[in-house]
Amino acid sequence: QMLSLKNQFPDKEMSELLDEKTSDFLNQMRESLLVLKEKNLIYSRMAFAVSEFYSSLIQQIIPHDTCDYKGSRHVGSHFLRVQA
């Protein structure tokens, strides 16, 4: 409905097309979405930090092969030794 109103009256601002109650609800929703965006940003940073911690921990525990600019090499573990 808001799109159809905006298409019918392209010269007017959205606040002029909506009644006061609807405008207040939209402002409240906008503020809630900004708070949610902030919390999501904090959560994503924490999730990335935890992921990096566990990735580095698993690389230290389990021996693995790595490929980088120095070439392919075997990285040993300080905790486990795998024999197959």
5 burial via Cβ count (<10 Å: 0-12, 13-18, 19+): middle
Residue 47 placed within a domain:
yes
Q: Across the 84 residues of the chain, what is the mean pLDDT of every consecutive 10-residue run?
A: 82 82 92 98 98 88 71 64 61
pLDDT on residue 18: 83
Rounded Cα gap, residues 27 and 34, in angstroms? 11
Please tell me the pTM assigned to this model: 0.59
Range of the domain at 54: 13-75
5 inside domain: no
How many domains, the chain?
1
Q: What is the pLDDT of residue 6?
A: 80
Judge whether 71 lies within some domain.
yes
Segments of the chain assigned E as strands: 64-68, 71-75
In a domain, 3, yes or no: no
Residue 51 lies in a domain: yes
**Would 68 be classed as within a structural domain?**
yes
Whether 1 is covered by a domain: the verdict is: no
pLDDT at 1: 78
Are the beta carbons of 37 and 45 closer than 8 angstroms? Answer: no
The pLDDT value recorded for residue 74 is 66
